[in-house]
Every structure is written in C-alpha cells, then in structure tokens.
Amino acid sequence: MTLISNKIHYIGTNDRKKHLFENNWPLPYGVSYNSYLIADEHPALVDTLEYGSDPDYLTNIATILEGRPLEYLIINHLEPDHSSMIGEILRTYPDVTVVGNCTTFKLLANYYAVPQEQKLEVMDGSTLSLGHHVLTFAWVPWVHWPETMVTYDTTDKVLFSCDAFGGFGTLDGGIFDDEIDFDKFYLTEMRRYYSNIVGKWSDKVQGAFQKLGGLEIKIICPSHGPIWRENPGKVLSLYNRWSTHQAEKGVVIIYASMYGNTEKMADKIARALAQEGVKNIRVFDVSKTHVSYLINEIWEYNGLILGTCAYNGQMHPMMHHLVHEISVANPKNKVVGVFGSSSWNGAGVKTLKKELEAIKITPTEKSVELFGVTTDDKLQGVKEFAADFASRL
Ligand code: FEO
C-alpha cells in the first residue's frame, strides 16, 4: 500500500508465478496488476486484481478504509487480470455501487450478477463526486476491449488509464517512474506489452490521445507497470510513437530453417546489410524465439526480412505462425523483404510471398532464393538483395 496523492492509494501486486500472460505471452520478468483506492468521503476502488494474485488485497482495502464501507467500484476494463476480484468485492461490500458504461454492464452480466439498483451507468464525460475528488470518465473503446474507459480525477489531475501506458515487468521496489531506471529494464518490456497487447488497436490509441489531449495530467496510474508522476510526458510520447508506427532505422531478420541452409543465408544477408551501412540488425530463429519477442523487435525497426525453407510444399509452419501473428498485430510502415532456400521446388519463398500479400504486405520486388547448400559461389544474389533493401530504409 502506497499513497500516491491526497487520499489515493496504490494497492496493486506483483505476479511472478504466471508463465504466460493471457496464456500466450511469456512473462520472464512477471507483471504487476495495479489497483487504486480513493479513500475519500465516498470511497471508490478503481479496478481490482487478478483473482488469487494477492491474498492481502481485501485486508489492505479494509485497513485503509478503517471500518468504512466501500461505496464505489469503478470498472475501467473487464479483462480478468483487472476484474476477477469483483466477485470478492461484491461479497465483502454487498451494497457497493458498480460504476461502468453501457458496454461494461452488457459484458459484466456474463460474469457477475449485480442488482440493477447498484449499477451506476456513466456516459462519456460523466462526473462523479467522491467528496474531495471529482472524477470524470472517458470512453476509450478497444484499448484494449470494447468496454474500456479511463477515469480522470479532476481534483489532483490523476489519470487512471487502465491498460493504456502499461507494461510487462513487476514493480521491484520502485513503483513510481522517479524510483526506477526505466530505460534500463522497463522500456523494452513496455514496448513488448504494447506491441503484443495494444498494438493491434493503435488507431484506437490515437483516438484516445485525441480525446484526452486537453486534459492536464500530473500523474498517470496505469493498470500494469510503473506510475508516472515525475515525467508522465515520457510515457505519453512513447505510446504516441508506437501507435503512429514510428520506428528506428534497422532490420529484423527472422528465418525458419530445418537443416541450417536458410540460417546461413540469414547471416550472409545480415553481413551484407552491415557492409551497406545498416547499424541495427537483429537476427532470430523463428523456431526458437517466442513470437512475443519477435513482434516487439519488429515494432522497433523499420526493416523486416523473413526467410523460410520449403516444408511440405509450403513454407515452414513456424514462419506461417509468425505471419499470422504479424497479421494480428498489424505493424505498419515497414520495408519487407523475403528470402529462403529449398532443395527442388522453391515452395517456401513462393508461399511466404503469397501469404504476405494476402495480409496486404508487399515485399520488395527483389528477393533471394537458393537451392541446396549456401556456398560462396551462390551469394551474388544475396549481396544485390541486401544492397537494394538497405537503399529502401
Ligand atoms: Fe490488463 Fe486488457 O487487460
């Protein structure tokens, strides 16, 4: 429990047990679930936690409230990492008023039974006075579910932003941006969170920026990751950059290789790109590195080169999986190239090009494909491919 501002308490927790967020995205450094309690004249809880993540959660609320009942439960977002303690809150505080928008209540009915008289349906821009603090609500649908809204405290200028401005990684002692070395660790994990979870909805993030643009924001309290009180402009700037698909000059090369020939091509292409002056080059084996990290790297750089061997008359299944995930995450403004190897029919590169075009990604006209082993006498095409690609970055 930590006081953030006048009567606003952080009552979040860290999850170091879970291996996969949404049972999909690796959590080697864990994740925090942030919940906030405004212990005002009319106490309000802003979002809850994932069920079972903190056995002390209800005790913490009771301690801060000193015997007073919780009057409001504000639901910014219903994904269970923030909402699965709602049942416990309803059982502990049976008279609590649940605050949400029309979509919140439509979805909530699929999870919890809340008596009609305990629902407070707010509109976009509605206000709610807690006594000292006056809250207002802004709908930000699809950041990252359709019901999502943010809550803004007009009194202390605090934005409870839910998934927006969040990141992976537990809060290891430091909770606030001025207590951590953000660039050393959290920056990469935040971009991975953005690209994996929120990136698909980048246009909606831009819509949220438009909507929140006029607010004076002194503190940002997201539902994951650090709280921004010293420099909230930094996380706003990062999210603006990522949601407008701005990227560093550089190339991510990702290959699928069964017996090493496509891998060798990847290294040859990387070397040729370096000789063309490209400084940021990252090479990955799609069969080894989880797609979560690959999408993160793809978001960071403006060049992407995919390579595959042929496999059962198509491309390698792991490359097929990556292309699917790229189509979901939908990174934009990339220069994309393809390469590959095969033993007889070139099915890998052919299929890769076809699948990219099907998701509206047009690779550079020049591609490179080798048959059999990657020997020096076959490498002229690699050099020409790399020179052409580098010139387009
Ligand atoms: Fe952190 Fe969309 O939930």
Q: How far from 275 is each of 268, 278, 281, 374, 386, CA to CA, in Å?
A: 11, 7, 11, 19, 9
| Alpha-carbon span 60 to 350, nearest angstrom | 59
Distance 79 CA to ligand 1 centre (A): 5
Closest ligand 1 atom to 224 CA = 1
44 within 8 A of 121, measured Cβ to Cβ: no
pLDDT tens per residue across span 139-163: 999 998 999 999 999 999 999 999 9
How far is the C-alpha of 49 from the C-alpha of 36, rounded, in Å? Answer: 10
pLDDT at residue 378 tops 90:
no
Mean pLDDT estimate for the chain: 97
Residues 6+ apart with CB under 8 A from 90: 73, 96, 98, 112, 114
How far, in Å, from the CA of 305 to the mean position of ligand 1? 31
Position of tokens 């903190």? 54
| Cβ atoms of 4 and 128 closer than 8 Å | no
Q: In the predicted model, what is the mean pLDDT of residues 367-376? A: 91
Residue 374 confidence (pLDDT): 86
- Nearest ligand 1 atom to the CA of 33 is 1
Count other Cβ atoms within 10 Å, centred on residue 212: 17
Q: Which two tokens stand for residue 207?
A: 């819509």
What Cα–Cα distance (Å) separates residue 147 from each residue in 3, 29, 103, 154, 162? 28, 29, 5, 22, 12
The predicted model scores a pTM of 0.96
Which amino acid makes up residue 82?
Answer: H
Amino acid occupying residue 288:
K
Q: Tokens standing for 88?
A: 């416990």
Tell how far the Cα of 234 is from the centroid of ligand 1, in angstroms: 21
Split at pLDDT 50, 70, 90, the class of 345 is confident
**Atom of ligand 1 minimally distant from the CA of 148:** 2
- 200 CA from centroid of ligand 1 (Å): 14
Cα(380) to ligand 1 centroid in Å equals 48
Q: Which residue has the higher pLDDT, 9 or 378?
A: 9
Distance from Cα 100 to the centre of ligand 1, integer Å: 16
Cis status of the peptide bond prior to 321, with omega within 30 of 0: no
Say how many Å lie between the CA of residue 64 and the centre of ligand 1.
26
pLDDT above 90 for 24 = yes
Mean pLDDT computed over 164-178: 98
Please give the number of the atom of ligand 1 that sits closest to the Cα of 197: 2
E strand or H helix at 211, and its extent?
Answer: helix 202-212
Asked whether residue 380 carries a pLDDT value surpassing 90, the answer given is no
Give residue ranges with CB within 6 A of ligand 1: 77, 79, 81-82, 144-145, 163, 223-224
What is the reported pLDDT for 34? 98
Q: For residue range 176-190, list pLDDT tens digits in order.
A: 999 999 999 999 999
What letters, b where the CB count within 10 A reaches 16 and e where it falls short, cover 58-81? bebbeebbeeeebbbbbbbbbbeb
Contacts of 2 (CB under 8 A, 6+ apart): 9, 10, 175
Atom of ligand 1 nearest to the CA of 144: 2
**Contact (CB, 8 A) for 32 and 175:** no
* Nearest residue (CA) to ligand 1, atom 1: 163
Give distance in angstroms: CA of 144 to centre of ligand 1: 7
Delineate the domains of the chain, giving CATH numbers in brackets: 2-243 (3.60.15.10), 248-392 (3.40.50.360)
- Has residue 1 got a pLDDT over 90? no
Relative to the CA of 163, which ligand 1 atom is closest? 1
Q: How confident is the model at residue 377 (pLDDT cuts 50, 70, 90)?
A: confident
Residue nearest to atom 3 of ligand 1 (CA): 79
